Amino acid sequence: MAWLPEAFLARMERQLGPDFPAFLASYHAPRATGLYVLPQRMAAEELAARLPGIGPPVPWARHGLYYDEQVVRPAKHPYYFAGAYYIQEPSAMLPAEWLPVRHGERVLDLCAAPGGKSVQLGSRLAGTGLLVVNDPHPERARALLKNVERYGLIQAVVLCETPDRIARAFPEFFDHVLVDAPCSGEGMFRKLPEMARSWRPEWVSAYARQQAEILAGAALCLRRGGHLVYSTCTFAEEENELQVAQFADKHSDFTVLATRRLWPHQVAGEGHFAALLRRGGARGDADQITTRPGPESASHDVRLRREVASAVAAWSSQVFGAADAWLRALPPGGRVVERSGHILWEHGELPHLQGLRVLRSGWLLGTITARRFRPSQALAMGLPKAMVADASRLDLTAMAHEGWETSVRYLRGETIPAPAGCSRGWVLVCVDGLALGWAQAAGTWLKNGYPPGWRWVDG
């Protein structure tokens, strides 16, 4: 095992004792690959039935499935572009699964990019509640935003901030906080051998210091009675059990409810650690989760200038056959606002974000240019299934050769034929009932509206 650092191997031998040979042998075993299926888009069983090489289920994650990379390339399928599943390392599905998230709650994913766990948390909220996702690195935060949009996380706010600044803006605000911390990444050596080559023993204590700071910020964001999951993809005890024990020592109102290690020699997945903690509070606090009142009414607070509102209404009439139909897409209780030509739905319970680096304050519905409304990719991906079915649309099927070819042409950014009887206006291009994006009919053709940064690239 020449490519594994000696200092790492020596420490693992001390840590694992009699299990060390089995651990070492796991580096010769093939690694498991997985994907998380968004139940709102497609049932896991349905996906497994349609695509060969998908399944069986990942034991510790509902909607998690293994796939056989010799049989299927899930990133090269129109369903991937439709946000039906997120390709995720199986062990990485555990931490989000552990948070007892329920509809309507407020959830913070503090170290979120590229967003695998945000997708899991968002799909658990199913278009309700509030999900704040954050990553302090601008480029990673942009990748996070793209996944928020692709997977239709309409209730998400995307930040690029440090944990202490988030703690100041959201004191005791969240029901659940996930800290999927930056770590020395030892659990990823099998998947990414280049990480092993750059690893240094001193990383462990450097990351441990950073993790303690992040956890301190996370604790301030959590309400009494709320839950916190801390996780890493490393083996070092300093970053895992010891980190959690030190945190619990310093924060006497937190109780460690459970910890779990996933070892590559024991499960089909890479190395992972997760701890579930609960912040104590006054008696009965645990029930607060279920008793927070929902939004008062299903009405919408639309704060748009008259000409902007009529542009949206005109678009809605063309696509859904009614000027006010677009309002049905919006979760109740929020507000629709215009910010520099961008039309957004924002959550009603959002505190002031002034001074924070905000990549997205809500669901981007579209933009206004020359008094016309242009629907966004985020709108296409976030529309509820019933509204996708009601839209003026082209529905292709990936289960037939022609439908597959046309969807791939659309995803590459090419012009495709318009559906019969549709020669003008916006069309929602769909695959097997799932939205892919917008196009504009011009005679017998559809002008492609698929965003350049999202396109299918061959190879």
Ligand X SMILES: C[S@@+](CC[C@H](N)C(=O)[O-])C[C@H]1O[C@@H](n2cnc3c(N)ncnc32)[C@H](O)[C@@H]1O
Is residue 233 among the annotated active site residues?
yes
Strands of 411-454 (E only): list them. 416-417, 424-431, 434-442, 445-448
Nearer to ligand X, 137 or 200 (CB): 137
Q: Crossing angle, helix 241-250 and helix 203-221, to 10 degrees? A: 40
What mask, x for binding ligand X by CB under 6 A, covers residues 41 to 80? ----------------------------------------
The H-or-E segment that residue 290 falls in is helix 285-291
Contact between 61 and 90 under an 8 Å Cβ cutoff? The reply is: yes
Tell me: is residue 313 an annotated ligand-binding position: no
Does 90 help bind ligand X (rule: CB under 6 A)? no
Q: Look at residue 334 and give its three-state secondary structure.
A: coil
219 near ligand X, rule: CB under 6 A = no
Cβ-based nearer residue to ligand X, 121 or 396? 121
Least separation in angstroms between residue 454's CB and ligand X is: 18
Residue 436: Cβ-neighbour burial (10 angstroms; 0-12, 13-18, 19+): buried
Three-class SS state of 75: helix
Stretch that binds ligand X, among 110-118, 219-227, 421-429, 446-454 (CB under 6 A): 110-118
Q: Please state, in angstroms and rounded to a whole number, the distance separating the CA atoms of residues 345 and 341.
A: 13
| Residue 114 in the binding site for ligand X (CB under 6 A) | yes
Within residues 151-170, the interface with ligand X by CB under 6 A covers 162-163
- For position 382 contacting ligand X by CB under 6 A, the verdict is no
State the catalytic residue, choosing from 160, 221, 233, 430.
233
CB of residue 336 to ligand X, shortest distance in Å:
30
Torsion of the alpha carbons at 385, 388, 390 and 393, rounded to the nearest 10: -150
Sign of CA dihedral 443, 445, 450, 451: negative
In sequence order, which residues have a C-beta less than 8 Å from that of residue 457 and are 6 or more positions away?
none
CB 211 within 8 A of CB 182: yes
Compare residues 45 and 164 and give the one whose CB is closer to ligand X: 164
Closest CB to ligand X among 115 and 375? Answer: 115
Q: CA-CA distances (angstroms) from residue 2 to 7, 8, 139, 200?
A: 12, 12, 34, 15
Burial class (CB in 10 A: 0-12, 13-18, 19+), 357: middle
User: Please, what is the minimum distance in Å from the beta carbon of residue 346 to ligand X?
Assistant: 23
User: Does 413 interact with ligand X (rule: CB under 6 A)?
Assistant: no
**Residue 34 DSSP SS3:** strand
Binder among 104, 127, 136, 331 for ligand X (CB under 6 A) = 136
By CB under 6 A, tell whether 187 contacts ligand X: no
Neighbours of 451 (CB within 10 A): 15
* CB 182 to ligand X: min, Å: 4
Q: Which stretch, 38-46, 133-141, 383-391, 415-423, contacts ligand X (CB under 6 A)?
A: 133-141
245 is in an annotated binding site: no
Q: Does 137 bind ligand X (CB under 6 A)?
A: yes
Q: Would you say 78 or 122 has its CB closer to ligand X?
A: 122
- Candidate segments 57-65, 115-123, 292-300, 377-385, binder of ligand X by CB under 6 A: 115-123
Minimum CB separation from ligand X for residue 162, in Å? 6
Q: What is the largest CA-CA distance in the chain?
A: 73
Which 8-state DSSP code applies to residue 454?
A: G
180 is in an annotated binding site: yes
| C-alpha closest to that of 79 among 306, 400, 404 | 404
385 lines the binding site for ligand X (CB under 6 A): no
Q: Judged by CB under 6 A, does residue 188 bind ligand X?
A: no
Of 4, 93, 121, 214, the residue at the interface with ligand X (CB under 6 A) is: 214
Choose which of 37, 110, 262, 394 interacts with ligand X (CB under 6 A): 110
CB 123 within 8 A of CB 152: no
Distance of alpha carbon 87 from alpha carbon 148, whole angstroms: 14
* Bond preceding residue 78 cis, omega within 30 of 0: no
Residue 365 binds to ligand X (criterion: CB under 6 A): no
> Which of the stretches 130-138, 344-352, 367-375, 419-427 binds ligand X when contact is defined by CB under 6 A?
130-138
105 contributes a contact to ligand X by CB under 6 A: no
The one-letter code for the residue type at 368 is I
- Interaction of residue 89 with ligand X, rule CB under 6 A: no
Among residues 135, 149, 239, 270, the one that binds ligand X under rule CB under 6 A:
135
* DSSP designation for 271: -
Q: Which residues are catalytic?
A: 233
Annotated binding site, which residues? 111-117, 135, 164, 180
Q: Rule CB under 6 A: which residues touch ligand X?
A: 92, 110-117, 135-137, 140, 162-163, 180, 182, 210, 214
Annotated binding site for S-adenosyl-L-methionine, which residues? 111-117, 135, 164, 180
